[in-house]
Homo-oligomer: A and B are copies of this chain.
Amino acid sequence: MNNKYIGVFDSGIGGLTVVKAILDILPNENIVYFGDTLHMPYGEKSPEDLRKLVLNNCKFLNSFDLKAIVIACGTAGACCMQDVIDHNDLPVFGVIDPASKLAAKTSKNKKIGVIATKAAINSNAYEKAIHKFDSSVNVISKATPLLASLVEEGRFTNDNIETKTVLKEYLQIMIDEHVDTLILGCTHYPLLSSMIKEILPDVNIISSSKCAADALKSALEANNLMSDTFIDQKYFVSSNPERFTELANIFMDKFNSNVSLKKLD
């Protein structure tokens, strides 16, 4: 047993889909979360900028007593996973491999779609990861750069006509290419999953957030690192904690944590 914190970071609110997935299956875990809302969105940043921001986030999380780091951000995971591993002595969990593995395993026609930010798609990280598990898969990647902003804007409820229009355009290629499996390659996207399911009713939707939580659980179990006592969750953001709290309240079932402002050097 190990009751230390799991450090989780994202560019903003999206990583909360990972926290939610973790707490659904690991309710005793203690979480310290950092959302880099001052630099949100990450999806348009250059790899060098991302690397610097991400390592800074980890440095802050390491000021707590951690047992693991979760990169709850598709973009950061796609571009900087190895950097985080190299600069930390803790086990590091990302969102790319678990979702890619499940997709490769479950796709029947071997046509897998991936939607993610521009930086994540440009990195080819999902394609490489899927091919690690099954090199015969045809990966249809689509950068969907507006989606994270739409989510951060609170436009993730089913009646949002702008988001639906944007989604339809983005997802058309998945219909044209007959994908049977779609990876939501950004942790913001699970908030859009019911709208995505409406547009792609016959496609198996894989949430990278949920897969990351499952992989984390397996690893904690295997190494006897699970927590047996829930102590607390800590939330920090680099800008506008009020806005973060407001959005967190919309989609977390019970979000009653304080969110503190934390400027990183």
Contacts and interface: CB of A to CB of B under 8 A. Distances in A.
23 contacts: A37-B44, A38-B39, A38-B45, A39-B39, A44-B239, A44-B243, A45-B239, A46-B239, A46-B240, A46-B242, A49-B239, A49-B240, A146-B146, A146-B149, A146-B150, A146-B153, A146-B155, A146-B162, A161-B165, A161-B169, A162-B162, A162-B165, A165-B165
Contacts of A240: 44-46, 49
A250 to B, nearest CB: 16
Contacts of A49: 38, 239-240
Chain B CB within 10 Å, residue with most, of A39, A146, A150 = A146
A49 to B, nearest CB: 5
Contacts of A243: 44
Interface of A: 37-40, 44-46, 49, 145-146, 149-150, 152-153, 155, 161-162, 165-166, 169, 239-240, 242-243
Contacts of A153: 145-146
Given A49-B239, A161-B165, 6 more contacts: A37-B44, A38-B39, A38-B45, A40-B44, A45-B239, A46-B242
A240 to B, nearest CB: 5
B165 A169 contact: no
A153 B146 CA distance: 8
**Top 6 A-B pairs, shortest CB-CB distance:** A149-B149, A162-B166, A165-B165, A46-B240, A49-B239, A162-B165
Contacts of A152: 44
A171 to B, nearest CB: 13
Contacts of A44: 37, 40, 152, 239-240, 243
